[in-house]
Chains A and B, each alone.
Chain A
């Protein structure tokens, strides 16, 4: 029982991280119909920035928030400079641009920081945390808390502010949005900024668990795809919930199904993608895409 509860909680912690990356994917997908394959590398790069600042002696939370700011501006700049010129190109073109971005970010990180794994600190105590009779990893609980906080802030922003409303409008109906005076191009860029910010949080929360290296996010991205697919690529809330489900399932299967262990965990994510796509392609919460012909 104790192991079960511990595994569920640590599954929720990593699941929250998968969910945030999935949310970042969904945000961009809803606005532009494009899956941003570079999402993981953007998060990885942000995490290296945080690492540099921490290495230079900046206190953790100062580095954390500075990284968020840089990630936001970076995401915005990537949209304006790299994506904007191909905005109206066929989807395949944009996908290829994203993959190019992935490769560039990965190799620049490798060149700047080398491919050797680095430890990344957690802002939370190393000592396990006792609730009732059960011990929990403090980083697990902390990461889950940080992730949920970010999600709540995003929710409030999109639900209750005029700018958040305008961003949702621009993603749904660009033509009508322009007629309301909304600068649609900037809204898409802001979407990239927020996606990069969410990714940066995810990177800084996962790095203490998986160690920091340029390929750190490739596995996470697969889990995020599984989460977004499970939740339906059109539902932000579904993506987060999908992440939590994937995280917990991954942990429980790894713990209780002997032959899977830790080595085959990624296969579980891929199997989930396949099963969802076969059984319910719109995911648990997504809308079925209607394409006019």
Chain B
């Protein structure tokens, strides 16, 4: 069964329509990736799922309609978003950033254990826990953004270009952890990624967006063999 189901999704900024009725799904425990050139509408799609832009159409999470609900409430259902630009709280410490990630479930939380788990995944964050987050490098801030999202103990994790601007080694580390989160903690993932080869490796389903429309979709193994995708995105 699909954990997230989206149909006929439209989104607009002011008068400009950016998504023109797209349909996709994330399986429970699965990884779905959305591919596409700059400006295709990938970020907007993730924003639409957590109620950060005006939308029309159907968005179902675990069977319940969430379109039109406030971001704060959607987050409480267990949807964590690692946003474009990382969304770091620059003047707060690393640990404060992480504690904020657990804010939505603070009634049930045992943050000490969750913090330990994040520091286990990202030892460098543990070393810098009392530094201000603004002093971290880009790669460390990306780890912090992923860590903050995991503090929610989400059921669905939205990742917006987690490897953007990272050194290849750091990017690989992030993807190793994304895979681990998915396998060991059964967190479903919706991944937007510019590195198409890596994204198709990780994901079970993929959707290719072009100017706000899905033009190709299917199991990632199939998309990897698709001629158009090979030529334009994989380069062979």
Inside 8 A of B106's CB, which chain A residues have their CB?
162
Q: CA separation between A253 and B76, bound complex, in Å?
A: 57
Q: Mark B123-158, 1 if CB is under 8 A from A, else 0.
A: 000000000000000000000000010001000000
For window 163-177 of A, CB contacts with B under 8 Å fall at: 165-166, 168-169, 172-173, 175-177
Inside 8 A of A169's CB, which chain B residues have their CB?
89, 92, 96, 100
Q: CA separation between A31 and B103, bound complex, in Å?
A: 19
Chain-B contact segment, one of A180-188, A199-207, A258-266: A180-188
Inside 8 A of A180's CB, which chain B residues have their CB?
75, 100-101, 103-104, 148, 152
In the complex, the chain A residue whose C-beta lies closest to that of B145 is A176
Which residue in B70, B89, B148 is a CB contact (below 8 Å) of A172? B89
User: Is B90 interfacial (CB 8 A cutoff)?
Assistant: yes
Which residue in B80, B87, B100, B104 is a CB contact (below 8 Å) of A175? B87
Rounded to whole Å, the gap between the CB of A235 and the closest CB of chain B is 11
Quick check: A182 and B96 within 8 Å, CB to CB? no
Q: CA separation between A153 and B101, bound complex, in Å?
A: 25
User: Is B72 interfacial (CB 8 A cutoff)?
Assistant: yes
Rounded to whole Å, the gap between the CB of A191 and the closest CB of chain B is 16
Inside 8 A of B105's CB, which chain A residues have their CB?
181
Q: CA separation between A206 and B103, bound complex, in Å?
A: 39
Contacts A176-B88, A178-B72, A182-B72 given; does A162 touch B103 at CB 8 Å: yes
Which residue in B50, B72, B83 is a CB contact (below 8 Å) of A183? B72
In the complex, the chain A residue whose C-beta lies closest to that of B80 is A179
Inside 8 A of B81's CB, which chain A residues have their CB?
179
User: Is B20 interfacial (CB 8 A cutoff)?
Assistant: no
Interface centre among B52, B81, B91, B106 (most CB of A within 10 A): B91
User: Is B71 interfacial (CB 8 A cutoff)?
Assistant: yes
Q: Mark B92-113, 1 if CB is under 8 A from A, else 0.
A: 1000100111011110000000
Interface centre among A169, A176, A178, A180 (most CB of B within 10 A): A180
Quick check: B72 and A176 within 8 Å, CB to CB? no
Quick check: A165 and B72 within 8 Å, CB to CB? no
In the complex, the chain B residue whose C-beta lies closest to that of A178 is B71
A binding-site residues for B, Cβ under 8 Å? 162, 165-166, 168-169, 172-173, 175-184
13 contacts between A and B (CB under 8 A): A173-B88, A175-B83, A175-B87, A176-B89, A176-B100, A178-B52, A179-B50, A179-B71, A179-B75, A179-B87, A181-B103, A182-B72, A182-B100
B binding-site residues for A, Cβ under 8 Å? 50, 52, 70-72, 75-76, 80-81, 83, 87-92, 96, 99-101, 103-106, 148, 152
